Amino acid sequence: SAVISQKPSRDICQRGTSLTIQCQVDSQVTMMFWYRQQPGQSLTLIATANQGSEATYESGFVIDKFPISRPNLTFSTLTVSNMSPEDSSIYLCSVIGQGGAGELFFGEGSRLTVL
């Protein structure tokens, strides 16, 4: 499986600020996926990022709040804008594995705490 690196691994942020999370993959991938895991909850898909096109956002997530960049086939960023305490979550980058059925592999996650 691909090696997926995320930065930062954790951060403490002030309300109203924005933070950009980086995701680097050690191989070229067409699709990258950003998930959110709120405290004690399961994973929720934020958006799918394809290189060369606008990200596709899931219901309840908008580009103004979670802008995504996908400049090449190995890298993506997710920005959490104008943060509030409700944005305190783990944000996970993921890519599809080689098994052929759409299984996902995840980065280590970025744990954000908003004060």
Partner 1 sequence: QKEVEQNSGPLSVPEGAIASLNCTYSDRGSQSFFWYRQYSGKSPELIMSIYSNGDKEDGRFTAQLNKASQYVSLLIRDSQPSDSATYLCAVNKGFSGGYNKLIFGAGTRLAVHP
Beta bridge partners of 56: 48
Residue 86: name the closest of 29, 32, 36 by CA: 36
Beta-strand runs (E) in 26-88 = 31-37, 43-50, 56-57, 68-72, 75-80
Nearer CB in complex with partner 1: 17/38: 38
- The token duo for 58 is 């899931």
Give the residues lining the site for partner 1 (CB under 8 A).
30-31, 33, 41-45, 48, 50, 90, 92, 96-97, 99, 101-109
Nearer CB in complex with partner 1: 58/63: 58
Quote the least distance from Cβ 39 to partner 1, whole Å.
12
Quote the least distance from Cβ 20 to partner 1, whole Å.
19
